[in-house]
Amino acid sequence: MKTGIKRRKAQVDRADCVACGCCVKVCPVQAIEIVRGVTARVNQDKCVGCGRCAAECPASVIQIREVGA
Ligand code: SF4
Ligand code: SF4
């Protein structure tokens, strides 16, 4: 049964990520990794939706979205 609770999660537009690693450094729960040196990937299970990565991303390719629980 769905609870209707919404959670905030970071999502990366991988096509425009420049793999600078800034988001990796600021994430407090180590939810982001750079995959194959070309793009950032968010572990949705770890992400707590704090928004730090989105604030730091120089390419503005991270968005915080509400997702269903
Ligand atoms: S800060 Fe932005 S551009 Fe840099 S690796 Fe993270 S998502 Fe990609
Ligand atoms: S929103 Fe916060 S917890 Fe989630 S990936 Fe970004 S910095 Fe990490």
Which ligand is closest to the CA of 53, given by its number?
Answer: 2
Q: Which domains does the chain have, with CATH numbers?
A: 8-63 (3.30.70.20)
- Residue 68's pLDDT band (cuts 50, 70, 90): confident
Cα 2 to averaged position of ligand 1 atoms, centre (Å): 33
pLDDT of residue 6: 78
What does pTM read for this prediction? Answer: 0.90
Does the beta carbon of 18 sit less than 6 angstroms from any atom of ligand 1? yes
- Residue 2's pLDDT band (cuts 50, 70, 90): low
CB-defined site of ligand 2, < 6 Å: 10, 26-27, 29, 31-32, 42, 47-53
- Residue 18's pLDDT band (cuts 50, 70, 90): very high
In Å, how far are 10, 14, 31, 41, 51 from 38, measured between CA atoms? 18, 9, 17, 10, 21
